Structure 1
Amino acid sequence: MTSTAKAATARRVVFPFTAIVGQEEMKLALLLNVIDPKIGGVMIMGDRGTGKSTTIRALADLLPEIPVVANDPFNSHPSDPELMSDEVRTAFLNGENIPLAQQKVQMVDLPLGATEDRVCGTIDIEKALSEGVKAFEPGLLAKANRGILYVDEVNLLDDHLVDVLLDSAASGWNTVEREGISIRHPARFVLVGSGNPEEGELRPQLLDRFGMHAEIHTVKEPPLRVQIVEQRSEFDQNPHAFLEQYQSKQEELQQTIINAQQLLPSVTLDYDLRVKISEVCSEMDVDGLRGDIVTNRAAKAIAAFEGRTEVTIDDIRRVITLCLRHRLRKDPLESIDSGYKVEKAFARVFGVELSEDSAAANGTGQKATAGR
């Protein structure tokens, strides 16, 4: 047995991503954020027991191993200075030999009761003053660098902590300051938040900072429900045998993600389409320019995912609702629009038909079929 095979066997078996039935909107949003982390993360809102946590863990397990600096608490990249801690960057610039290692992409769970010190890390002031060294105890943001940071029930998390997470996700750096001592380290991660709308919404200012917003609903069709129950039962009885059934699909999707990440810089978005995206944002009265930027990035990511270098109108149609629905101004008593308003504005600006099926689908938060 090879060392890779031994490591795979030793790892806790996770339900395979390619076996997950339905919830296409959530799966698409997660995949696009992995292809281009600069999209800004995804907020997943939906009913209890709809597989939010299962899907996110399955995605982390699916992702390919990444090169890291051995024994580095920040998962520093061995050759990209932007993804290195200060200590590793100094060694790199001085031409020192940097030990390398391969590891799985980290998925870090943020517990609801976490303190700011636990999230950001702490500085040992006494050691710093007595020994003159910056004694830093890394937090969850350090562990999540170049990985996925998952916050379940993010709408119940303290607003101050949400601000810290979003600031780090946007800047790619975490800075800790205590008593005049300042330490910073890279903190580039895909931020995934999930929650149940019945337990309250995030403040609009915080919600706007998430790149995408996916809605998921309990599957209604009895045959699909039976399929999901049977799959789960089969997985619980014999996880390794179940995983083997999907191994080839898992490897195929993993390679597709790698190819998309490499192709992404070559993907182009026509100027006229960019203008129309901004026209939709303007018509929907979206505050700021985050909606425009994220829609542009997501459209390019979906084109790369499908192996193309030019964005089409259909690419934009498939991502624009995910990127804009949570940025619309709304009556305080309304819940987040399921997407029909965005689809309607898209159809008018891009000159495509909004079918009755699309309108009905949007009304239930499912994927639209405008312009097909």
Structure 2
Amino acid sequence: MSQNERPVFPFTAIVGQEEMKLALILNVIDPKIGGVMVMGDRGTGKSTTVRALADILPEIEIVANDPFNSDPNDPEAMSDAVRDMIRQNKPFEITKTKITMVDLPLGATEDRVCGTIDIEKALTEGVKAFEPGLLAKANRGILYVDEVNLLDDHLVDVLLDSAASGWNTVEREGVSIRHPARFILVGSGNPEEGELRPQLLDRFGMHAQIGTIKEPELRVKIVEQRTSFDQNAQAFQLEFQNSQKELRERIIQARALLPKIQLSYELRVNISKMCSELNVDGLRGDIVTNRASKALAAFEGRQNVTPKDIYTVAALCLRHRLRKDPLESIDTGTKVQDAFTRVFGEV
């Protein structure tokens, strides 16, 4: 860590909250899972854990000097300018950068989030002058919204639309600009401050619930670690340097292994049976459970998904899709686990 960087609490030093950590790691391995909504009591380390993730993120290849972190190998994740350069066989420089994490402040305007078009330049010079916003910066990275349940509904709609389609379109005075916006959307919130609308909640791939740790010994350990970090952040980070590096390597290997992971037809049918039995609306639940179980198998270095993988991720992927009544509280996971046992049997 350089002297100018703000110190970040190491991800591997975080005690407990295994469900949230697993959900975040699986989304980094396969961003198409669709993001994570983390709900829990205040003071349980939600923001600390999400921001700690930034330190273990692997590097990705990008086109140099491109404001959208364009992927030089994937047409779906590159800007129109880069695509034109490829079409015209123009050379461009490729560089590596860490996956970025962008914080979205609650008071952000739509222009700040989506970007804005310089109309004056468009009219006087006849060029599309686009000022990129946070969605451009977050392309191929992570967009983190703390207290997402307090964010303006209109902005939440914009974020979820971009996250689902992978593109952000800005239109103003007849000028239209589109750019890739493929990011992992991570939201956190406190249920006391209000829930997200069920149709918006459904757009998050996973839903992690975290509570206050009750065991006195663990609480003491957390307090001691936080005190050590506050007193000397660099020394504390050095302690966890190796474990951070090991986790980063595991994530890199899992991302490489992911395309080779096999999920048998029988298990896919059972996942859909479980979703059907839980009366989950739509097919998002089936798709996310398939993806998350493959990502978990990749993280553990195996090429075949097992029923235990599905059991581990099922509650994370399905619990927030069960509600029919907006006033009903989110299931802790027992309904999902009971349905799993009826379909798959005991693990």
Q: Distance in 2 between matches of 1:323 and 1:317?
A: 10
Q: Is the 8 A contact 1:268 1:309 kept in 2?
A: yes
Matches within 5 A, 1:123-162: 123-162=117-156
Of the candidates 279, 295, 306, which is equivalent to residue 300 of structure 2? 306
Structure ranking higher on relative contact order (CA contacts 8 Å, 6+ apart): 2
Query: Matched residue of 2:48: which SS?
Result: helix
User: Retained in 1: the 8 A contact 2:197–2:326?
Assistant: no
CA distance in 1, matches of 2:314, 2:88: 46
| Corresponding residue number in structure 1 for 2:342 | 348
Is 1:171 equivalent to 2:165 in the alignment? yes
Aligned partner of 1:17: which letter? F
2:94 maps to 1:88: no
In structure 2, the residue matched to 1:365 is: none
1:284 aligns with 2:284: no
Counterpart code for 1:299: S
Q: 2:14 aligns with which of 16, 20, 25?
A: 20
Percent of residue pairs identical: 76
Could you give the per-residue CA deviations for residues 72-117 of structure 1, whole angstroms, max 9, x where no partner exists? 2111123322221111221122222212332222111111111111
Contact 1:78 1:98 (8 Å CA) reproduced: no
| TM-fit CA distance, 1:181 | 1.2
Residues of 2 paired with 1:161 and 1:283: CA distance?
Answer: 34
Which residue, 86, 95, 102 being the options, matches 2:96? 102
Aligned length: 347
- Unpaired runs of 5+ residues, structure 1, are 1-6, 353-370
Contact 2:289 2:310 in 1 (8 A): yes
Check if 1:116 corresponds to 2:110: yes
Q: In the aligned structure 1, how far is the partner of 2:103 from the partner of 2:4?
A: 21
TM-score normalised to structure 2 length? 0.97
Q: State the match for 2:254 in structure 1.
A: 260
**Structure 1 contact 147–190 (Cα < 8 Å) conserved:** yes
CA offsets 1:319-357 (integer angstroms, 9 cap, x no match): 0000000000244432111111111111111111xxxxx
RMSD of the alignment, in Å? 1.2
Structure 2: segments with no counterpart, 5+ residues: none
d(CA) in 1 for partners of 2:276, 2:339: 10
- The 2-side partners of 1:228 and 1:318 are apart by 25
> How far, CA to CA, are the matches of 2:80 and 2:28 in structure 1?
25
Aligned equivalents of 1:106, 1:129: Cα separation in 2: 34
Quote the Cα distance in structure 1 between the aligned partners of 2:3 and 2:55. 13
Match of 1:328 in 2: 322
- Cα distance, 1:244 vs structure 2: 1.0
- Post-superposition offset of 1:238: 1.1
Distance 2:264 2:99 in 1: 33
- Name the counterpart of 1:273: 267
**How big is the shift at 1:65?**
2.2
Name the counterpart of 1:217. Answer: 211
- Normalised by the size of structure 1, how large is the TM-score? 0.91
